[in-house]
Structure 1
Amino acid sequence: MRPAIRAARAEDLPELVALDEVCFGSEAWSAGAWVDEFERLSEDRVILVADEGRVVGYAVLLVPPVLEDVVEVLRVAVTPAERRTGIGGQLMVMALDRCAGRTVLLEVAASNESAIGLYRGFGFGEISRRRGYYGGGEDAVIMRWREET
């Protein structure tokens, strides 16, 4: 069964917090940070979830109301058991559909080769690095996407 990609709902919050902890460990957002994200949904946040009867993935976007401002992909995660099944790609398709005509930025750990490959497959290209940004001195790769017209 392919998951349904849909907008997050308040009842998804506990599953999102738990999945974030599994995927990001010490870098996970706190429950309070997730509540703040939900409070901003009507302003500039989009949270998409992959739903298979439970949340198996999510993407969080910062979508400023001014069309000339860049969109930021703040977070993408898929439960470890569901990785390499296409769920990350499904989330990216839906996320980028919401960004038509806009520039999108994201950052990813330089060692996260599978995520970098996913993003490159969608047309993201590296534009810079933040040296030593992550714990242990790992670089953050900054990537940009712009829809071709």
Structure 2
Amino acid sequence: MRPAIRPAVVDDLPGIVELDQVCFGREAWSSVAWEGEFERLAEDRVILVADEGAVAGYVVLLVPPVQVDVVELLRIAVAPDERRTGIGRQLMTAALARCAGRTVLLEVAAGNESAIGLYGGFGFDEISRRRGYYAGGEDAVIMRWRETA
């Protein structure tokens, strides 16, 4: 059964923080940072979760006011035991549906081939790199998506 993709609510915060720790380790956002993301939901953040009775995945978008035509995909994660089940694709589909008429930018570690493949499958193209951006000197790949008619 496919999980429900829905807007995050404050009750999801502990599950999101835990999943972020599991998925990103040293690069995980602190619980204080996540609280800040939730405080910005009314302003410019969209957080969607894959709900299977627990948070199986999430995606975070920075969606500026309508007069700005660029959205930034800040974070996406899927629980390790739920990977390769389509949850990442469901989250991306739901996130991009909220970005109609806008360009979406993201950055990803150059060595994260599965994520780069997922993004490429949605039509994201590499537009630049930040050399040595991540710990250990790994490059960040900057990718862009534009809705096609």
TM over 0.5: yes
Tell me what 2:10 maps to: 10
Tell me what 2:143 maps to: 143
Tell me what 2:93 maps to: 93
Q: Distance in 2 between matches of 1:89 and 1:2?
A: 11
Tell me what 1:26 maps to: 26
8 Å Cα contact 2:103/2:145 also seen in 1: yes
The alignment-based identity, stated in percent, is 78
Choose 67-76 or 57-66, whichever is displaced more.
67-76
Q: Distance in 2 between matches of 1:74 and 1:12?
A: 18
Unpaired stretches in structure 1, ≥5 consecutive residues: none
Q: Distance in 1 between matches of 2:113 and 2:67?
A: 31
SS of match in other structure, 1:132 = coil
Q: Distance in 2 between matches of 1:69 and 1:25?
A: 32
Q: CA deviation at 1:66?
A: 3.0
Tell me what 1:114 maps to: 114
1:2 counterpart letter in structure 2: R
8 Å Cα contact 2:69/2:101 also seen in 1: no
Aligned pairs, number: 149
Q: Distance in 2 between matches of 1:127 and 1:94?
A: 23
Q: Distance in 2 between matches of 1:7 and 1:142?
A: 26
1:47 aligns with 2:47: yes
Unpaired stretches in structure 2, ≥5 consecutive residues: none
Q: CA deviation at 1:96?
A: 0.2
Q: CA deviation at 1:61?
A: 0.2
8 Å Cα contact 1:102/1:146 also seen in 2: yes
Tell me what 2:59 maps to: 59
Q: Distance in 2 between matches of 1:132 and 1:84?
A: 29
* TM-score, normalised relative to structure 1: 0.98
Q: Distance in 1 between matches of 2:62 and 2:96?
A: 12
Q: Distance in 2 between matches of 1:105 and 1:97?
A: 14
Choose 62-71 or 101-110, whichever is displaced more.
62-71
1:19 counterpart letter in structure 2: L
1:77 counterpart letter in structure 2: A
SS of match in other structure, 1:47 = strand
Q: CA deviation at 1:67?
A: 3.6
* TM-score, normalised relative to structure 2: 0.98
Q: Distance in 2 between matches of 1:68 and 1:57?
A: 27
